[in-house]
Structure 1
Amino acid sequence: MKYYAIIVAGGSGNRMQSAVPKQFLLLDKQPVLMHTITAFHSCALNPHILLVLNIDQHKYWEELCLKYNFTIPHQVVNGGAQRYHSVKNGLKAIKGKGIVAVHDAVRPLISVQLITKSYQVTEETGNCIIGITPTDSVRRVLENGKSEALSRDELVLIQTPQTFEIDLLRKAYQAPFRNEFTDDASVAEYAGFKINLIAGERENIKITHPEDLEIASILKRMIKRTP
């Protein structure tokens, strides 16, 4: 079986209040994206790593790799207008069958154990989507300023990687882009495929806001101290 990882790095950094895209910001003296690629490289299944990156950022990424002596093998693919198109470009760069994990570049704390489990579950079921249950109370916003309580036990906060048999995901991505395609699971579900959920990790946060970098740094130190 061949394994692949599509790392989607299309963030602009707007919510980070930074001119530098968030995947390039430093986490413990190294760009966030390098931590993410390292996690997949550390997986014993040895996935082929494809980095989907805006074409205008390719040169900058090359310079960062030289600056930080980052030599992990990976293939750089041109990004698209939306995440949907970036993933589709990544899929086009893969030849043949296998299993592919699609992961946000700005989730640098994903564990090797969860990456491996995602591939293994996908071998058994065709796909594997990870998520965590919310700990806060949740409400649905209705019209006219009204809202209603929802049971958090019935909700899951979806993370990445989202992992699929490649042929399954290719078939799903034949559908034209729709605004409701917010992740790969929504694309696959629209194509009629059943989504298989497993538990994610609370440490697997997405770097979105300025304070997330500090939180990630703290979590990273905590993970290192855990036996």
Structure 2
Amino acid sequence: MRAVALIVAGGSGSRFGGPVPKQYRRLAGVPVLRRTVETFLTHPAVGRVQVVIRAEDAALYADAVAGLDLPPPVIGGADRQESVRRGLEVLAGVDVVLIQDAARPCVPAPVIDRVLAAVQPGAGAIAALPVADTLWRGPDAVCDTLVDRQNLWRAQTPQGFMLADILGAHRAARGQGLTDDAAVATAAGLKVHLVEGSPVSAKITTEADLTEAETRLRQNLTDIRVGTGFDVHAFADGDSVTLCGLTIPHTCGLAGHSDADVGLHALTDAILGALAAGDIGQHFPPSDPRWKGADSAQFLRHAANLVAARSGVIAHTDVTLICERPKVGPHRAAMQARVAEILGIALDRVSIKATTTEKLGFTGREEGIAAQAVATLRLPE
């Protein structure tokens, strides 16, 4: 059966807190939403992914899913039930829909398989875990009544249904404010099967959840890759140079088809090398007029997106700028911050250094600037 994944990302993340909703926070360098979307895009039984978002998050959404093959997002409603219904209304030509919380980015493929296998006309299925802990009802945080945990389950996502069944159920339940699609389905008389979920499918609700998810994710990234890059640009007429994303006043500029940012070019090549994905010239040919004067940040961001597409992370980067002038020291911290921003990684995972060649060679004669870079990646086996 043809399946579509409907990713619900319309929440404000009020319980999580902070200026950015949790679905746009970065998990091991990659937005949570992107990891969730890629989980379903790469599943062989899912032919399409549709995302529902808040209107005010349009810019965050565009940045999070840049480069992915997705239809335009659906703008959600005032609550989750309305957002899901709006998403369902735009779907057509599919048999089964998998409704997924954006804040559950680590759903294992076997869980998706089990949900899909249990869906049939008139019956849906949800991923869930049986409750294993002792349960107390405790008014005022005091143990009062022991709750029988037999037949109790913790609901997860995805929750799968025949599209016609769940769309009809949502239309019938409009305005009821139900927070779970299984509740919508059972209210419409549909049977909903419980299938085995996974502890790694935990929802990110707090900062601690995000930290735990990152720890778990990094434990699974056991393919360590190291790549190197090197680049050179000659001095030319001008009054500034661009190094590691910063424009620095100087007595001349650097010659190049793009902005000639020798540091970012070397680092882009290092990441591409670690991926065995060619070099910067293959991805951004200097013969292509589109890259004339281009900001090299987009080259580096492209390389980072390729890492994300492999479900990997950038563990560390190290750039060495080789020149007599300009002096790099006064700008080092700002360069480090800019590279970290472009790559979406922590500041302490970016190293920027500088050296001279003691007046030897073309850099010693102040004919240009060179850079070498090393990138360490962690990928799934």
Structure 1 and Structure 2 fold alike (TM over 0.5): yes
Residue 79 (structure 1) aligns with: 76
Is the partner of 2:200 in helix, strand or coil? coil
Residue 199 (structure 1) aligns with: 196
Q: AA paired with 1:28?
A: A
Determine which of 123, 128, 138 is the counterpart of 1:126: 123
Is the partner of 2:43 in helix, strand or coil? coil
Q: TM-score, normalised by structure 1?
A: 0.89
Residue 36 (structure 1) aligns with: 36
Larger Rg: 2
Q: CA deviation at 1:174?
A: 1.9
Identical positions, percent: 30
Residue 271 (structure 2) aligns with: none
User: Which ranges in structure 2 are unaligned for 5 or more consecutive residues?
Assistant: 223-379
Q: CA deviation at 1:11?
A: 2.3
Is the partner of 1:63 in helix, strand or coil? helix
Distance 1:41 1:131, change over 3 A: same
Superimposed CA distance per residue, residues 48-97 of structure 1 (whole angstroms, 9 cap, x where no aligned partner):
1110001121133213444xxx4243441111110000000011101245
User: Which ranges in structure 1 are unaligned for 5 or more consecutive residues?
Assistant: none
Is the partner of 2:150 in helix, strand or coil? helix
Residue 111 (structure 1) aligns with: 108
Alpha-carbon separation, structure 1, partners of 2:71 and 2:105? 16
Alpha-carbon separation, structure 2, partners of 1:115 and 1:75? 24
Is the partner of 2:83 in helix, strand or coil? helix
Q: CA deviation at 1:117?
A: 2.3
Is the partner of 2:137 in helix, strand or coil? strand
CA-based RMSD of the aligned residues comes to 2.2
Q: AA paired with 2:90?
A: A
Q: Does 2:182 correspond to 1:185?
A: yes
Residue 295 (structure 2) aligns with: none
Please give the residue correspondences for 1:1-227 in structure 2 after superposition, counting only pairs within 5 Å.
1-66=1-66, 70-123=67-120, 126-140=123-137, 147-175=144-172, 176-179=174-177, 181-224=178-221
Q: AA paired with 2:113?
A: T
Alpha-carbon separation, structure 2, partners of 1:82 and 1:4? 22
Structure number having the greater strand percentage:
2
Moved more, 1-10 or 26-35: 1-10
Q: Which of the pair has the greater relative contact order for Cα pairs under 8 Å at 6+ separation? A: 1
Q: AA paired with 1:48?
A: R
Alpha-carbon separation, structure 2, partners of 1:182 and 1:6? 15
Is the partner of 1:203 in helix, strand or coil? helix
Distance 1:109 1:155, change over 3 A: same
